[in-house]
Amino acid sequence: MRLYNTLSKRKEEFVPLEEGKVKMYVCGPTVYNFIHIGNARPMIVFDTVRRYFEYKGYEVNYVSNFTDVDDKIIKKAIEEGVSADEVSKRYIAECKKDMEGMNVKPATKHPLATEEICGMIDMIGTLIEKGYAYEKNGTVYFRTRQFKDYGKLSHKNLDDLRSGERSLLVTGEDEKEDPLDFVLWKPKKEGEPAWESPWCEGRPGWHIECSVMSKKYLGEQIDIHAGGEDLVFPHHENEIAQSEAANGKEFAKYWLHNAFLNIDNRKMSKSLGNFRTVREISEQYDLQVLRFFMLSAHYRSPLNFSADLMEASKNGLERIINAAENLKFLMKNASAEEMSEAEKEAYAQTGVFTEKFETAMDDDFNTADAIAAIFDFVKYCNTNTNAKSSKEYLQKLSDLLEKLTDVLGIIVNKEEEILAEDIEKLIEERQAARKARDFARADAIRDELLGKGIVLEDTREGVKWKKA
């Protein structure tokens, strides 16, 4: 399996730190609003990376934080006249709903920055002790030049940063030893959430959060650290500096970054105001369509959001779901149970689709080509099955389709949820059909319910139902 490492700027063979295990950290959103579909891109992409590792038999420890203390959260809380905690809790809950809709698996752990302050104070203390950080008037800064490898991820040279990219430097902070130094801890301002610390009552800088949460839940060294490409500098560069200076070890082996989701070829972002929330999209489309759309491009290619592409994704997804439903339909009506010799031979040929799928995914998670392999397989299913196919053969094809689409987080065999009141209504209708001696209709209703996993029992007290 090869993956593109931002650190080396090339594709590398994946070798886990511990055999059969993957330790993975993905920077999560700052929670002050509904997430937009740009934020959804890393969620979907890295959930798919996780699923593929799991498909390959790895045990994945997947940690993704929520940044729940930040200037933007505080600003929103002040606007609404509520606490910052209320704002962040509300949008964490909303974000989790969106993730569920997009079939993004919950992380093994979703740490909250506000619950990890002790660990941050500890790491900042270590950095001061080791000479990598210093305090001035209550603020603690990281001494950037002290960390010799600074710039290794973003491939930036410190002197260029200083002379050429002045806009990156924060002005008005004369107390810093060097303009490149960044904040680890800052004093509280009026009305802001704050915690006691050895330096002042205050709150952590953003970068230290991830270094600490990653260490606590995954250990000092991890396999993969991921996020959107805007995080390469300064966020991930600073995380490396903090973690490697504090722990004296390489932090993450592989750094993965998704390209932007654009709209009219500009990055979708809250600040530009050109965003669409996942919630808005869900009013128009099943979020499976959004997921399919995101995976239709390679994660390192920019992807432009458009109504046309969403429609194309909807149609593509329908083709796959129709094939799955067709297999189910044939299975229900099949008379032959076991595979014939011809079917055994035919089934053996389906290995080429799995191979094509895995080759694509092994090559830096090329989901676009993996989807093409699924389409080939769908075409095969549609042309190589009919009313005479055996149940076993159809079941095997259906299982394979489900297995491959599940890696992409696409659900093809949706169990239709049926409400108790709808079941009761159908039972009444069935009783009426029986009375009218319309046994065909009565049987059809029984089968429909059976298809949804509901079994009917005719008892002396009337018709009873239970889940199969």
The binding site for ligand AMP (CB under 6 A) comprises 27, 29-30, 38-39, 41-42, 227-228, 230-231, 258, 260-261, 267-269
30's contact among Zn ion, ligand AMP, none, with CB below 5 to 8 A by partner kind, is ligand AMP
Closest distance to ligand AMP from the beta carbon of 167 (Å): 19
Buried b (16+ CB within 10 A) or exposed e, 424-462: eebbeebeebbeeeeeeebeebbeebeebebebeeeeee
The bridge status of strand 303-305 relative to strand 261-263 is: parallel
Q: Is the Cβ of residue 218 or residue 397 nearer to Zn ion in the bound state?
A: 218
Contacts of 406 (CB under 8 A, 6+ apart): 51, 55
Is residue 141 within 8 A of residue 183, CB to CB? The reply is yes
Closest distance to Zn ion from the beta carbon of 390 (Å): 52
- Our measurement of the distance from residue 20's CA atom to the centroid of its chain's CA atoms, rounded to an integer in Å, reads 21
Tokens in use for 425? 């209504």
Closest distance to ligand AMP from the beta carbon of 226 (Å): 8
210's contact among Zn ion, ligand AMP, none, with CB below 5 to 8 A by partner kind, is Zn ion
**If binding is defined by CB under 5 A, does position 104 make contact with Zn ion?**
no
Q: Which of 7, 22, 24, 27 binds Zn ion (CB under 5 A)?
A: 27
Closest distance to Zn ion from the beta carbon of 238 (Å): 9
Instruction: Give the single-character DSSP code of 25.
Output: E
Please count the other Cβ atoms lying within 10 Å of the Cβ belonging to residue 131. Answer: 10
29's contact among ligand AMP, Zn ion, none, with CB below 5 to 8 A by partner kind, is ligand AMP
Q: Is the Cβ of residue 210 or residue 404 nearer to ligand AMP in the bound state?
A: 210
Q: Is the Cβ of residue 53 or residue 206 nearer to ligand AMP in the bound state?
A: 206
Question: Packing angle between helix 117-129 and helix 206-218, nearest 10 degrees?
Answer: 100
316's contact among Zn ion, ligand AMP, none, with CB below 5 to 8 A by partner kind, is none
Inter-residue long-range contacts of 85-89, CB under 8 Å, 24+ positions, other chains counted? 85/114, 85/193, 87/31, 87/32, 88/31, 88/32, 88/112, 88/114
Closest distance to ligand AMP from the beta carbon of 406 (Å): 24
Q: Is the Cβ of residue 227 or residue 316 nearer to ligand AMP in the bound state?
A: 227
Q: Is the Cβ of residue 52 or residue 275 nearer to ligand AMP in the bound state?
A: 275
- CA 96, CA 266: separation in Å to the nearest integer? 27
- CA 222, CA 429: separation in Å to the nearest integer? 59
Instruction: Give the single-character DSSP code of 264.
Output: T
Q: Which stretch binds Zn ion (CB under 5 A): 26-34, 161-169, 180-188, 407-415?
A: 26-34
- CA 316, CA 293: separation in Å to the nearest integer? 9
* Shortest-Cβ-distance residue relative to ligand AMP: 228
SS3 110: coil
Tokens in use for 154? 């973003």
268's contact among Zn ion, ligand AMP, none, with CB below 5 to 8 A by partner kind, is ligand AMP
230's contact among ligand AMP, Zn ion, none, with CB below 5 to 8 A by partner kind, is ligand AMP
Cis peptide before 42 (omega within 30 of 0): no
Closest distance to ligand AMP from the beta carbon of 44 (Å): 10
Q: Is the Cβ of residue 217 or residue 260 nearer to ligand AMP in the bound state?
A: 260
Q: Is the Cβ of residue 200 or residue 368 nearer to ligand AMP in the bound state?
A: 368
Closest distance to ligand AMP from the beta carbon of 72 (Å): 9
Closest distance to ligand AMP from the beta carbon of 238 (Å): 14
Measured in degrees and rounded to the nearest 5, phi and psi for residue 136 equal -140, 115
Q: Is the Cβ of residue 69 or residue 339 nearer to Zn ion in the bound state?
A: 69
Q: Binders of Zn ion among 231-290, rule CB under 5 A? A: none
Q: Is the Cβ of residue 242 or residue 350 nearer to Zn ion in the bound state?
A: 242
205's contact among Zn ion, ligand AMP, none, with CB below 5 to 8 A by partner kind, is none
Is residue 22 within 8 A of residue 53, CB to CB? The reply is yes
Is residue 26 within 8 A of residue 64, CB to CB? The reply is yes
Closest distance to Zn ion from the beta carbon of 169 (Å): 21
Going residue by residue from 131 to 170, which x/- string records binding to Zn ion, judged by CB under 5 A? ----------------------------------------
Contacts of 209 (CB under 8 A, 6+ apart): 65, 67, 113, 116, 120
Q: Is the Cβ of residue 27 or residue 360 nearer to Zn ion in the bound state?
A: 27
Q: Binders of Zn ion among 203-232, rule CB under 5 A? A: 210
| Residues contributing to the site for Zn ion (CB under 5 A) | 27, 210
